[in-house]
Amino acid sequence: MKSPLQSAIRFSRAWFARASFLYFVFALTVTPAVADDAGGVTNIFKPDGTPARTISDYTILVLVICAVIFIIVAGLLVYTVTRFRRRAGDDGHEPPQVYGSNQIELAWTVLPILIVFVLSLVTARTIAEIQNAPPPPKALQVTVVGHQWWWEIRYPELGIVTANELHVPASDAAEPRPTFLKLESADVAHSFWVPQLAGKTDVIPNRDNQMWIAPMTPGTYLGNCAEYCGTQHARMLIRVIVHPPGEFETWVAAQQRDAANDMQVKAGRDLFFSTSCVNCHTIKGTEANGKFGPDLTHLMSRETLGSGAALNTAEKLRAWVRNPQRLKEGCYMPDMQLTDEEMDQIVRYLQTLN
C-alpha cells in the first residue's frame, strides 16, 4: 500500500519533469525568436571582431566537450535505469556485487584529468591572446568612465567628450584598426560589456582597466553595464557605433566643433545658463563646464537619452527635462521645477545642439 505522501511525491515529480522538459523546449525554440523580434537584444553567438570571436570559438569548444560528456553520462544512466529496472517475476535477490576494477577506475581518473588539462591550456592561451595583444600604431585610444548611471566617453587624442555612445572606425583584417579602451570609474564598480564585440571588463574605482575591440562590420552594437551598481544599473546601456572607412573622420570633425550658437533660441539659452544645469553639464564653447553629468555639446547627435533610458526624440527630450525621475527613477538629474514655458524654451535650445 502506498501512503498518500508517497503518491503526492510521485505525482509532483512527474509533473516537475514534464514542466522542466517543456521549459527546456520553450527556451530553445521560442526565446531566440522573441529576442530577435525585440531588436534590442544582443547575442554572444554572433561575434564581430577578434576578441569576441576568440571567446566565442573557445566557448563553443567547451560547450561541445561538455555536451559529449553529458550525452555519454546521461545515455549510460538512461540505459542502466531501463535495462535493469525492476520487472515482474524478479526473484527479489540482491544482484551480484562487484568491488574494485583497476581498468574502470584508471579510465575515470585519467580521462577527466586529460580533459581538464586540455581545457585549462586552451583557456590560458585564449586569455593571453586577448590580454597581451599590443595596440598597433593606428589603434584608437578611448577612455570610458563609468558613472551612476551613464558612461562618459573621452577621446583624449581627438579632444572629444561624449556620453553613452562609443563611435569607432571599422577594423579590417588587412589593416587592423582596433579601439583600445581605458576603463575608469567615477564612483562604484561597473562593468563594460558589449557581447558581440568582447568579454566583460570590470570598471573599478581607483584602478585603470584595459580592453580592446576590433569590430569589422559597420552598424550599431548594444551593450550594458554588467555589474550591479545601484538603482538604475539596468538603464546603463551602451551603444557602439561602428563607422565604415571615411565616415568616422566625418563624425570626429563634427564632434570637434564647438556647440551651435543659434540666436533664435537665445531665450532658452539664457535660461539654461541661469539655472544650475551648468553646474553639471559641459557645453563646449560656452561657460557651462560642469563635469558631473554628460557633456551636452552635441546632444542631438546621440540616439538615446539617459544612457539608453529613452530614444532621443523631441517628445522624450521634453519628458526628460520635465522630470528625469519619471524616465529614470533615482538618477542624479533633479526635477528642475520649470514652468511649461521655461521648459519649452530650454528644450528648443537643447534641440539646436546638433
What residue ranges bind ligand CUA (CB under 6 A)? 146, 149, 190, 225, 227-229, 233, 236
Residue 190 CB, shortest distance to ligand CUA, in Å, is 3
Half-sphere CA count of 270, side-chain side, radius 13 A: 5
Residue 154 CB, shortest distance to ligand CUA, in Å, is 17
Nearer to ligand CUA, 190 or 284 (CB): 190
Looking at residue 142, its amino acid is: V
Residue 254 CB, shortest distance to ligand CUA, in Å, is 28
How does strand 190-193 pair with strand 201-203? Answer: antiparallel
**Cell 521549459, residue located:** 23
Nearer to ligand CUA, 26 or 228 (CB): 228
Nearer to ligand CUA, 190 or 269 (CB): 190
Residue 60 CB, shortest distance to ligand CUA, in Å, is 28
Residue 223 CB, shortest distance to ligand CUA, in Å, is 11
Query: What's the CA gap between 49 and 7, in Å, rounded?
Result: 56
What is the grid cell recorded at 311?
A: 530614444
Residue 193 CB, shortest distance to ligand CUA, in Å, is 10
Nearer to ligand CUA, 143 or 286 (CB): 143
Looking at residue 113, its amino acid is: I
Residue 225 CA, distance from chain mean position: 6
Nearer to ligand CUA, 144 or 265 (CB): 144
Query: What's the CA gap between 47 and 34, in Å, rounded?
Result: 20
- Cα angle 305-187-351, degrees, rounded to a multiple of 5: 20
Query: What's the CA gap between 275 and 216, in Å, rounded?
Result: 44
**Cell 527556451, residue located:** 27
Residue 126 CB, shortest distance to ligand CUA, in Å, is 26
Nearer to ligand CUA, 108 or 228 (CB): 228
Helix (H) and strand (E) counts in the chain: 9, 12
Q: Does residue 149 have a cis peptide bond before it, meaning omega lies within 30 degrees of 0? A: yes
- DSSP-H helix ranges across the chain: 4-38, 50-83, 102-131, 247-256, 266-274, 277-280, 314-322, 324-327, 340-350
Nearer to ligand CUA, 184 or 227 (CB): 227
Residue 230 CB, shortest distance to ligand CUA, in Å, is 7
**Cell 573622420, residue located:** 249
Q: What SS3 class is residue 50?
A: helix
Query: What's the CA gap between 73 and 78, in Å, rounded?
Result: 9
Nearer to ligand CUA, 192 or 248 (CB): 192
Considering only CA atoms, which of 130, 167, 131, 159 is closest in space to residue 52? 130
Considering only CA atoms, which of 8, 12, 42 is closest in space to residue 197? 42
Residue 231 CB, shortest distance to ligand CUA, in Å, is 10
Nearer to ligand CUA, 236 or 271 (CB): 236
Residue 328 CB, shortest distance to ligand CUA, in Å, is 13
Nearer to ligand CUA, 225 or 299 (CB): 225
